[in-house]
């Protein structure tokens, strides 16, 4: 995927939205190729991502305005290496008293956004 190509992000976001796993500005997506971090910005709607909704930076200098889950995404990439992360909010997955920036919902790490979304869908369906 080229630096400006949003196709994988848009497909992943629309899939999560169409299955009811995110609504409005819930959830986020990111990729890291070993050099460039691409991550959805805070407040973006995964159902309708545009050019201003996916920001580019590095793990050491993440883009300003990126997802409120930035620290979780960066930590997962540092631990696991290059890949993709999809984050959704299936029903009942945000704990009572949740505070911005704390883990919540479900996170999936895979080699591509497509596979990360498939993993979240499988989790909701109770499939391995």
Per-residue model confidence (pLDDT) at position 1 = 41
- Which residue would you say has higher pLDDT here, 93 or 49? 49
Strand stretches in 15-103, DSSP E: 28-32, 37-40, 54-57, 83-88
What is the fold, at CATH topology level, of the domain defined by 7-125?
A: L-fuculose-1-phosphate Aldolase (3.40.225)
**Residues above pLDDT 90, as percent of the chain:** 66
**34, pLDDT greater than 50:** yes
Domain ranges of the chain: 7-125
Tokens of residue 17, six digits: 């939205």
| Rounded mean pLDDT, 18-41 | 93
């Amino acid at each position: 995927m080229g630096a400006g190509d949003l196709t994988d992000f848009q497909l992943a976001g629309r899939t999560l939205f169409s299955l009811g796993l995110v609504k409005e500005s819930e959830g986020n997506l990111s990729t890291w190729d070993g050099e460039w971090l691409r991550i959805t910005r805070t407040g973006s709607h995964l159902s309708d991502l545009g050019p201003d909704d996916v920001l580019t930076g590095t793990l050491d200098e993440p883009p300003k305005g990126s997802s409120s889950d930035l620290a979780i995404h960066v930590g997962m990439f540092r631990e696991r290496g290059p890949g993709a992360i999809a984050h959704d909010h299936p029903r009942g997955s945000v704990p009572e008293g949740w505070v911005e920036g704390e883990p919540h919902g479900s996170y999936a790490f895979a080699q591509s956004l497509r596979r990360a979304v498939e993993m979240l869908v499988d989790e909701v369906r109770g499939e391995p």
